[in-house]
A and B are shown apart, each in its own frame.
Chain A
Amino acid sequence: MKQLSIMVDLDRCIGCKTCIVACRNHHGLVDHENAMPGEMSHYIRVESELTGTYPDLAEDFWVVMCQHCKKPPCIKACPSGAIAKDAQTGIVRIDKEACTGAKKCLAKCPYDVIQFDAAGNFAHKCDLCYDRVIHGLEPVCVEVCLADALRFGEKEILLMHAEAEGKELIKKRSTQSILYVKSPRR
């Protein structure tokens, strides 16, 4: 199976959160009138880690979105069969219409990325911008990334890029289809 993926370059991610807001705009996740902080759905989040002691510090930033797992636990957890992994692209999608709002997938997702729309009673999440990628475009987060830290493509090819640039795969983070890479520590 082909797997479309995003490669996150920790040498470049500055944790700016541009991708989060662009993603929300594109997918209509903000009700601008009633939106309140802490209550808005989001398909991406930024994480970071500061290490060392003053003044010898290092900090990494990276983004987390649906990892489009090889064997997605959300699919297994869904009682209504509303979640499926697309054979052509490897994208894991939730069928809103088929979703009965059981919320089982939310608890089973190891990455805590599934959102729940209480008003519409359905689960939703990152679908790698399925509507765009099937037309040959990149996911929105990749397109807008301020630092060009994200790259989109087939998993195998992205890994070749990383190798060519001397970047290492961060194994503990990249078990699935979102690849995290960075240069070996200087």
Chain B
Amino acid sequence: MHRNEWIPTVCYQCKAECAILARVEDGVVKEVKGNPLARGKMCVKGMAGVTTLYSAERLKYPLKRVGERGEGRFERITWDEALDIMEKKLRELRERGEAHTFTYSMFPHSTTDPKWRFVNAAGGFISTGLPHCDSAKIMAHLHTFGCFPNHHIAPMYYTVPKGGLMILSGRHPFGCLDDACVPRDILNAKARGAKLVVIDPIFRSEAAKADWWIPIKPGGDAALFLGVCHYLLTNDLYDKAFCEKWVRPGDMDNLMAFIADKTPEKMSRICEVPAADIVRLAKMCAEAKSVCIDAFKSIMYGNAMDWGHVWSILLVITGNLDNPGGQPLPEIAPMAPVTPVPPAPNLKELGYHRTGPDKNRFDHYNFILEPTWYAAQAVKDGTLKVFFASECNPALSEMGSGEWRKAMTMRDEKGDYKLELFVVTEIMPSETMKWADLVLPDQTNFERWELLYMPWWYNYGHTAALCRPVIEPLHETRHANRVMIELGKRMFPEYFAFKDDLEYYDIELSGVGMSVEKLMDGGGLWSPGTAGFRKYEDAGKFNTASGKIELEWRMYADIGQQWPSPELPLEFRRGEKEFPFILVNFRTIFLNNTGAWSQNNAQLRDPVSGLDANPVVINPIDAKRLGIAEGDMVTVASSTGEVRLPVALSQRIKPGCAGLIHGFGQTMGKVAARGNWAGDNELIADAGSHLDEQDLRGGEAHVATRVNIHK
């Protein structure tokens, strides 16, 4: 491995997993850059990944808790001891008939993730570690036109024609949680004459490049776009030919009836975008050569299914499916199963891990990914006994972190922790690790093998990418996938009969005529071919039950959700008096701040190359009313918690909103713990504690809540 060269691998400073090259000299990673085979870009977070790799603070060997949970006192143990502890507890759980009370909070990098396989073999429940923001978008598109995108299937900006329209609604693609080529692609589209409209309560770098910034009340996106649809439909400005041909008979009439009272004036009162601007946006859509929409934050406000539904309707009535500059409909390239395949949990029997009062009504929804396990609630009600976590940081970076921390130390009648075993794999000291019983030192993307694969094509040109070790792994680190394979071999040899992760990936890749070796020969990337447009024309149908586009969600008629509601999420409709501001958390490209490995990066916390502060941002209009000046220390309080922070006054935020950068507040890690900043999740409620209406409208408001601000 001691070569001096650029080696193709995959970045992992965020979940976008861009294909990169690592410059290795004498066994040391010197620099990194985008892989030209993948159109060649890599963002600042990825560049700073080298600092994570060589940080003196990396976790070096397995640790076992010696103090109480939350104290963060550990002793060094061997890998064998660590595996013994996990095996013993999981066997005990199975013997008690409680296998399903085990879960693993993770971000599955592919449908082939060995950790996911292990959970299934163990009879546990998969938890994506993600709230179902993304699921709602996926489900909305799937219900309506039967396509299966994930959040990597953003619009193909490189196909947007001159005269096309790109709409970003609460989406921050210059923050690079998409492929790092996206910012350039958007700017290129603009340079060739496409228009960019940015809808966001906060003016950020996208808005700075936009032809038009539309500040909106958080959660108002469904209302705004219903107003747009109203204008298009009632003024005959929609794509009639497309709708006649492809929409299920009856749906257009019912849509017309539903939309009749969703006038721009009425919708304007909900979303606080002037009616004239709603009309202007509708006209832009009608005139554009193509329209694409991307949204992310705005589907995390608590009405994601409604918003995803409106979004889907707009794409349909403007005829923007699978056309250049519209919404891509990915294809599926199936991997080979590694047999025998462990059975997935029986959700019908075990139910979803929902703890909201509307559980029964919620169960109508058929989510693809099981919604997040609300760990705190599950510990309380005794349905979570063993918890593993990788690449997530619930003590700090997930909503309801305070509630979560409390749950980790809850005890039963006998005085034992209710959560019997908590295992964390992590690269750097994390906030979450303080509550763990076992801490397993993980590997960076420069040290591990990993097949990144989604069966639906990535629109960035590849469907499989290979992360490979470019240097010898440091310390006693082991990648979480390997740990789970090893544990799997001990406990379920029938399901883990393959030699190692490489053989596992080889079997899967054989389904598409590939192998790890061939992937490496091809520069670490593989694609089944070109994407193609309007595939439904060739197929003669959409991938729905009726073969047509289904605008009306008839399966939800009994819960009154066959059409999208324009209302703001409940979270924002109540408590306005007591909590007059809507707090919106946000990110920057030079800070990921979700996982501990990126929180504790000196380059990303540097004021020059990153960010070292998260003051609460409010508009000077609001500040004047409250008698608050720039730099004042204020208390920001929500119904669940409060933080003290300095104020930054800025024109870039909509009056009535407060902005806070996500993920600060660590006490672990010499870099991350510096500074007097606070975590936004202290303010966001644990979803399991306030799920009522959100159950039915597509999720919890997990990046926003109502707050008050005072000195």
A and B: real partners? Answer: yes
Interface hits, A128-186 → B, CB 8 Å: 140, 143-144, 146-148, 186
Alpha-carbon gap, A20 to B45, bound state (A):
11
CB-CB under 8 A from B603, the residues of chain A are 21, 24, 30, 35, 40
One of A58-66, A80-88, A102-110 contacting the partner: A58-66
Is residue B654 within 8 Å, beta carbon to beta carbon, of the partner chain? yes
Is residue A120 within 8 Å, beta carbon to beta carbon, of the partner chain? no
CB-CB under 8 A from B33, the residues of chain A are 22, 143-144
**Which residue of A11, A17, A20, A53 contacts B651 across the interface (Cβ within 8 Å)?**
A53
Q: Is the CB of B610 within 8 A of A17?
A: yes
Count residues on chain A whose CB falls below 8 Å from chain B CBs: 43
Interface hits, A69-115 → B, CB 8 Å: none
Q: Is the CB of B42 within 8 A of A18?
A: yes
CB-CB under 8 A from B654, the residues of chain A are 54-55
Interface hits, B24-49 → A, CB 8 Å: 30-34, 41-44, 47-48
CB-CB under 8 A from B47, the residues of chain A are 18, 21-22, 25, 144
Is residue B554 within 8 Å, beta carbon to beta carbon, of the partner chain? no
Is residue A57 within 8 Å, beta carbon to beta carbon, of the partner chain? yes
**Which residue of B44, B655, B671 contacts A16 across the interface (Cβ within 8 Å)?**
B44
Is residue A119 within 8 Å, beta carbon to beta carbon, of the partner chain? no
Among residues of A, the one whose C-beta sits closest to the C-beta of B181 is: A146
CB-CB under 8 A from A18, the residues of chain B are 42-44, 47, 589
Q: Is the CB of A147 within 8 A of B213?
A: no
Q: Is the CB of B607 within 8 A of A26?
A: no
Alpha-carbon gap, A21 to B610, bound state (A):
9
Alpha-carbon gap, A22 to B655, bound state (A):
37
Q: Is the CB of B606 within 8 A of A38?
A: yes
Would you give the 0/1 interface string for A1-36, flagging 1 where the beta carbon is closer than 8 Å to chain B? 000000000011011111011101110101011111
CB-CB under 8 A from A15, the residues of chain B are 205
**Nearest CB on B from A184, distance (A):** 15
Q: Is the CB of B31 within 8 A of A147?
A: no
Q: Is the CB of B205 within 8 A of A59?
A: yes
Q: Is the CB of B609 within 8 A of A34?
A: no
Is residue B126 within 8 Å, beta carbon to beta carbon, of the partner chain? no
Q: Is the CB of A147 within 8 A of B187?
A: yes
Interface hits, B653-703 → A, CB 8 Å: 653-655, 670-671, 674
Alpha-carbon gap, A53 to B652, bound state (A):
8
Is residue B580 within 8 Å, beta carbon to beta carbon, of the partner chain? no
CB-CB under 8 A from B583, the residues of chain A are none
**Nearest CB on A from B675, distance (A):** 8
Q: Is the CB of A54 within 8 A of B655?
A: yes
Would you give the 0/1 interface string for B367-387, flagging 1 where the beta carbon is closer than 8 Å to chain A? 000000000000000000000
Is residue B350 within 8 Å, beta carbon to beta carbon, of the partner chain? no
Is residue A124 within 8 Å, beta carbon to beta carbon, of the partner chain? no
Among residues of A, the one whose C-beta sits closest to the C-beta of B56 is: A33
**Nearest CB on B from A89, distance (A):** 23
Count residues on chain B whose CB falls below 8 Å from chain A CBs: 55
Is residue A50 within 8 Å, beta carbon to beta carbon, of the partner chain? yes
Alpha-carbon gap, A45 to B183, bound state (A):
20
Is residue B51 within 8 Å, beta carbon to beta carbon, of the partner chain? yes
**Which residue of B44, B50, B56, B602 contacts A17 across the interface (Cβ within 8 Å)?**
B44
Give the secondary structure class of B's interface: loop
CB-CB under 8 A from A28, the residues of chain B are 30
Q: Is the CB of A35 within 8 A of B208?
A: no
Alpha-carbon gap, A181 to B44, bound state (A):
23
CB-CB under 8 A from A17, the residues of chain B are 44, 589-590, 608-610
Alpha-carbon gap, A151 to B690, bound state (A):
52
Among residues of B, the one whose C-beta sits closest to the C-beta of A51 is: B651
CB-CB under 8 A from A33, the residues of chain B are 54-56
Is residue B574 within 8 Å, beta carbon to beta carbon, of the partner chain? no
Among residues of A, the one whose C-beta sits closest to the C-beta of B33 is: A144
Central interface residue in B30, B187, B207, by most chain A CB within 10 Å = B187
CB-CB under 8 A from B269, the residues of chain A are none
Is residue B180 within 8 Å, beta carbon to beta carbon, of the partner chain? yes
CB-CB under 8 A from A60, the residues of chain B are 208
**Which residue of A14, A22, A35, A36 contacts B174 across the interface (Cβ within 8 Å)?**
A14
Q: Is the CB of A30 within 8 A of B602?
A: yes
Would you give the 0/1 interface string for B158-172, flagging 1 where the beta carbon is closer than 8 Å to chain A? 000000000000000
Alpha-carbon gap, A36 to B57, bound state (A):
12
Alpha-carbon gap, A170 to B652, bound state (A):
24
CB-CB under 8 A from A42, the residues of chain B are 606, 608-609
Q: Is the CB of B205 within 8 A of A14?
A: yes
Q: Is the CB of B48 within 8 A of A21?
A: yes
Alpha-carbon gap, A143 to B33, bound state (A):
9
Central interface residue in A37, A52, A54, by most chain B CB within 10 Å = A37
**Which residue of B54, B610, B612, B655 contacts A32 across the interface (Cβ within 8 Å)?**
B54
Q: Is the CB of A20 within 8 A of B609?
A: yes
CB-CB under 8 A from A186, the residues of chain B are 211
CB-CB under 8 A from A25, the residues of chain B are 30-32, 47, 50
Alpha-carbon gap, A17 to B612, bound state (A):
14
Given contact pairs A17-B589, A21-B47, A140-B31, a sample of 11 additional A-B residue pairs in the complex whose CB atoms are under 8 Å apart = A14-B174, A16-B43, A17-B44, A17-B609, A37-B612, A38-B612, A40-B603, A40-B606, A40-B608, A144-B41, A148-B188
Sort A-B residue pairs by CB-CB distance and give the 9 closest, nearest first: A32-B54, A35-B602, A59-B208, A21-B47, A25-B31, A18-B44, A33-B56, A37-B606, A37-B605
30 interchain pairs, CB-CB under 8 A: A16-B589, A17-B589, A18-B44, A20-B608, A21-B47, A21-B603, A24-B603, A25-B32, A25-B47, A26-B31, A32-B54, A32-B55, A35-B603, A36-B671, A37-B610, A37-B612, A46-B608, A53-B651, A54-B215, A54-B619, A54-B652, A54-B653, A55-B203, A57-B203, A57-B213, A57-B652, A61-B208, A144-B41, A147-B187, A186-B211
